[in-house]
Amino acid sequence: MLFSEVIGHSTLKQRLIRMQDSGRAPHALLFSGNQGVGKLPLALAYAQRLCCQHPTSDDACGQCASCRQFAKLSHPDLHLLFPLVKPEKAKEAPLCSEMAEDFASAVLENPYISIDQWSAMISDGKVARYYDKEGDEIIRQVNLKSYDAPYKVMVLWCPERMDETASNHLLKVLEEPPSNTVFLLVSDFPQKIIGTIRSRVQDVAVPPIADEDMLTTLAQQHPELDEAQRTFFVRNAHGNWNALLNSMEENEDEMEYFNEFQSMMRHAYRPLILEVKNWSEQVGGRKRTWVVTFLQKSQRLIRENFVFHLQLNPIVYMNEAETQFATRFAQFIHANNIEKIMNELALAQAQIEQNANMKIVLFDMILKLYSLLAIKE
């Protein structure tokens, strides 16, 4: 991974490069921050330039043998450590080295991958974590001689998922680090890492990606999107590139939820009992998980319409279609009814999650929304 391939963070990249070039780079760094902000890509770019045979002033060369191996995450002096899940019928959990190719493939496909996405790829709902014997493997690997790079680099992704045994093994090697070995820890929750480890690493706080950097990258990678679409995706991602990618994948589903929201509000504004009954039966006939998500999305749209009504445009997060609907609908969402409307939607969601009859809950909810929408500002 080259620094030029990491979205944004120009100031932080320069700091990392100066750290390398000073000749006094610490043996252990902790890249910390929210999910999707680029911690792992930055750590990998730092590692690649550290091992590059012909680094430039602002990046690795990208051409030497070392860089070509890093481009595939297959460099023999790059050791990737990551949480795993023990297969149900297996006697013991696999080692990271046994699944390194799988993890490398996942990261190459999406360097901003989240731990939940990785867990879903390797298991059926189980929580990925580090197992005890991985601690022994860390000690074994750090004692290996480097092949042809000036440094041996160990990238530990989500070290907060280490138990006490594995953490103590890591602490041992951090207390007496082998020469020319660099540890790069990448954490979403650094506060969950034991204090003795945190005290032996230098923190590199990675902030959310700037909107302008995300907009530029999105325009380059998806020229089919117009400016309004790009702005919508970026503003709702809050500096999280992975969330932006997920939002784009879910866009078709979002339109389905939004269309149903419009239908629900039209029925609530002027309820014709037979039509409300038909709508409740149609929506109530869907999967329970879909209806729960629909009610969650509806609560977001109610909040956005309230903010739109207040004309607080800088903090309105709606796409073009939602904004067009809000120009007519937002006037009915105001300080005198917003809380009660939100409560009714949340109550319906809670009842459906508790296996209540969805058709009855939705029918009752529409009638209550009708009385609330009629409240004057």
Q: How far is CA 354 from CA 297, 300, 347, in A?
A: 19, 21, 11
What local confidence, expressed as pLDDT, does residue 317 receive? 77
**What is the spatial distance between Cα 153 and Cα 62, in angstroms, rounded to a whole number?**
18
Q: Residue 1 is encoded by which pair of tokens?
A: 């991974």
CA-wise closest residue to 30 among 245, 237, 208, 190: 190
In the prediction, which pLDDT does 93 show? Answer: 80
* pLDDT of amino acid 263: 95
Tokens of 105: 């493939």
Could you tell me which residues come within 8 angstroms of residue 348 by beta carbon, excluding any fewer than 6 positions away? 295, 361, 362, 364, 365
Query: pLDDT 10s digit of each residue in the chain, 377 long?
Result: 999 999 999 999 999 999 999 888 899 999 999 999 999 999 999 999 999 999 999 999 999 999 999 999 999 999 999 999 988 777 888 889 899 999 999 999 999 999 989 988 998 767 899 988 888 888 888 877 777 778 899 999 999 999 888 899 899 889 888 888 999 999 999 999 999 999 999 999 999 999 999 999 999 999 988 888 898 889 889 999 999 998 888 776 778 899 999 999 999 998 899 999 999 999 999 999 899 999 999 999 999 999 999 988 787 878 778 889 999 999 999 999 999 999 999 999 999 999 999 999 999 999 999 999 999 88
Burial class (CB in 10 A: 0-12, 13-18, 19+), 307: buried
CB under 8 Å to 265, separation ≥6 — which residues?
329, 369, 373
The backbone torsions φ and ψ at residue 120, rounded to the nearest 5 degrees and listed phi first, read -65, -30
- What pTM was computed for the model? 0.71
Q: How far apart are CA 110 and CA 116, in angstroms?
A: 13
Q: What is the 3-state secondary structure (H, E, C) of the chain?
A: CCHHHCCCCHHHHHHHHHHHHCCCCCCEEEEECCCCCCHHHHHHHHHHHHHCCCCCCCCCCCCCHHHHHHCCCCCCCEEEECCECCCCCCCCCCCHHHCHHHHHHHHHHCCCCCHHHHHHHHCCCCCCECCHHHHHHHHHHHCCCCCCCCCEEEEEECHHHCCHHHHHHHHHHHHCCCCCEEEEEEECCHHHCCHHHHCCCEEEECCCCCHHHHHHHHHHHCCCCCHHHHHHHHHHHCCCHHHHHHHHHCHHHHHHHHHHHHHHHHHHHCCCHHHHHHHHHHHHCCCHHHHHHHHHHHHHHHHHHHHHHCCCHHHCCCCHHHHHHHHHHHHHCCCCCHHHHHHHHHHHHHHHHCCCCHHHHHHHHHHHHHHHHCCCC
Dihedral sign of CA atoms 272, 278, 281, 285 in order: negative
